[in-house]
Structure 1
Amino acid sequence: LMRPLQGCPSRGVVVGTVTLCLAAGWALQTPGGVSLVVPQPNINATVAQNILLSVEYSCRGVATIEWKHVSSWGTTSIVEWRSDNYVNISTVYKDRVTTFENGSIQLRNVGMRDAGYYFVTVMDEHGTNAYGTIIVNVYEIIYEDLHFVAVLFAFLAAVSAILICFMWLCNKSLHLFQKKTTHKLTASTTEEIELETIEC
């Protein structure tokens, strides 16, 4: 014959509380997955500009972050690192990439070949993954057009200066010619008056 346990009723409450605390502690140590946020999924840049591929991840334990670039030229691994300071940067990007603790990377001196899709993968120690994508558009500055505009502007300025000088010279010459003509008329009028006086 089995009898129910008899004793202090608070014992059950204590056992329940301890069990709950142990369960909560176990839950905190159990991996809760990986989350990844991409605040700016589209980036427009010009040639030779520096761009920041910004992400923010959260992960319990050590995370592995990997970035890849996919374009019409193929797929290239950029960098892979762990949050415990291991970093492996591809030789193609060796002097152009800076990594950040939040999973972001900065790409310096971008070119036309850097346009395309950038995929980031964050993986925790238990193999749980989170993925993000950033599209980068790179536009070329057409220096030839700017050079042509600058040359055209300089040419028009030079032509304008020459025309202004020419108009000033014409005006000056006309003024001198009018002055000489007036002087000659005055001289001839004076001579006529003198002749008339002599004749009288």
Structure 2
Amino acid sequence: MELSQLYNSSGSEERKINNCPPMQPWLTFTPPPQLTNVLHPPLDPWLTSTPPPQLTNVLHPPLDPWLTSTPPPQLTNVLHPPLDPWLTSTPPPQLTNVLHPPLDPWLTSTPPPQLTNVLHPPLDPWLTSTPPPQLTNVLHPPLDPWLTSTPPPQLTDALHPPFAGAISIRSYRQSLTRSVQQDVLFSVDISCLGIPTIQWTFMSGMVSRDISSWQPGGLTNISEEYTDRVHTYSNGSMGLSDLRVQDAGFYVIRVSELSGSSRDAGFVLTVEEILYEDLQYLSVFTLVLAFLAGFLMLSMWLMDNAYRRLKAWNGRRQMPVNGETELQAL
């Protein structure tokens, strides 16, 4: 049974091989001589031949004999001077101790036993031994439990009151300059542990008045003088609109907490008068004068035209009707 299977399998393989198409004849035969040089052109003889002797030195010039030859003896010491004999020779015995003095024997030798305790005294046994139990609490008393235990919540603020460093005020520009009728923003960024109370105060010379005070998320108290001119922000910043010359001065922000800690920061505001207000009045006055001058010139031109027409009309009335002219006797 196995032989029949092998025979059938070999017969199927032969049938598969016989069914393969033959190779192309152009791929398997040798080309004729007339096509050999076309398919495989010979190499250039200049690349494969040896150059003639007259071109050898041109293509491959010889090296400089000074680079390849050994210099003569009289130039050897000039090109390669010998080293100093003091650097390469061994010093004589009488100079050995001078150049390399021996070390002090006290530094290299071991001290005798009678000097060991003097040079290296032993440590005090009280420092290296463990004290007896009855002296342990005397030498190392235990810590006070009040110092190591956590205080109850009602005593936390009493023992560890908050400090002013917990409040921080970051201001970006502390000197501001604006013109009249402009707006200004006192930009700050406050941070604290609790709920802060923010208060802005204006000071100029002997004058000091409160501007506004508020808590983030609460109501804002603004004085009557700054009503509709003050704008407050949750980070502590304050804006002031429609500036006047009287608004120039110092502006102080105070941030305080319920614990009593507080921190201040100040700003300097300079308000400059607008110079173009005078120019505006002057320009308006100039425009009015120009309008009046133009009106007067127009009126004079109209009156002049009316006068000329009236004069011409009177002249035509005084002329004779029949157009005859009277000759006077000479």
Normalising by structure 1, report the TM-score: 0.56
Q: Deviations over 1:78-99 (max 9, x none)?
A: 2222335254434544554332
In structure 2, the residue matched to 1:57 is 189
SS in 2 for 1:83: coil
- CA deviations on 1:153-178 (whole Å, 9 max, x unpaired) are 43442343123222232134225535
**Contact residue 70 and residue 76 of structure 1 kept, 8 A:** yes
Calculate the aligned-residue CA RMSD, in Å. 4.2
CA contact (8 A) 2:213 2:221 kept: yes
> What is the distance in 1 between the residues matched to 2:168 and 2:287?
58
Q: Which amino acid aligns with 2:295?
A: A
Q: Which is richer in strand?
A: 1
Aligned residue in 1 for 2:123: none
State whether residues 35 and 59 of structure 1, in contact with CA within 8 Å, keep that contact through their aligned partners in structure 2. Answer: yes
* 1:166 paired residue number: 300
* Residues 38 and 132, structure 1, Cα contact 8 Å, conserved in 2: no
The 2-side partners of 1:93 and 1:50 are apart by 15
Among 61, 75, 78, the alignment partner of 2:211 is 78
* Residue aligning to 2:40: none
Q: Paired residue for 1:6?
A: none
Partner of 2:253: 120
Pair 1:73–1:66, CA change in 2 (3 A): same
Q: 1:41 is matched with which residue?
A: 175
Larger radius of gyration: 2
- Which 4+ stretches in 1 moved above 6 angstroms? 140-145, 182-185
Letter in 1 for 2:294: S
Give, in angstroms, the shift of residue 118 of structure 1.
1.2
Once the 2 structures are TM-superposed, how far is the Cα of residue 59 of structure 1 from its aligned partner? 0.9
Q: Structure 1: where are the runs of 5+ without partners?
A: 1-29, 196-200
Match of 2:324, SS state, is helix
Match of 1:133 among 247, 267, 277: 267
How far off its partner does 1:184 sit? 6.4
CA distance in 2, matches of 1:192, 1:101: 104
Aligned residues between the structures: 162
Q: Indicate yes or no: 2:107 matched with 1:107.
A: no
**Percent of paired sites with the same residue:** 19
Return the letter of the residue paired with 2:222: I
Q: Secondary structure at the match of 1:191?
A: coil
Q: How far apart are residue 134 of structure 1 and its match?
A: 3.4
Distance 2:317 2:220 in 1: 94
Q: Which moved more, 1:91-100 or 1:115-124?
A: 91-100
**Larger relative CO (CA 8 A, sep 6+): 1 or 2?**
1
Separation in 1, partners of 2:198, 2:188: 11
**Unmatched runs of 5 consecutive residues or more in structure 2:** 1-162
- How far residue 110 of structure 1 moved from its aligned partner, in angstroms, is 4.2
Distance (Å, rounded) in 2 between the aligned partners of 1:35 and 1:75: 22
Deviation at 1:135, TM superposition (A): 1.0
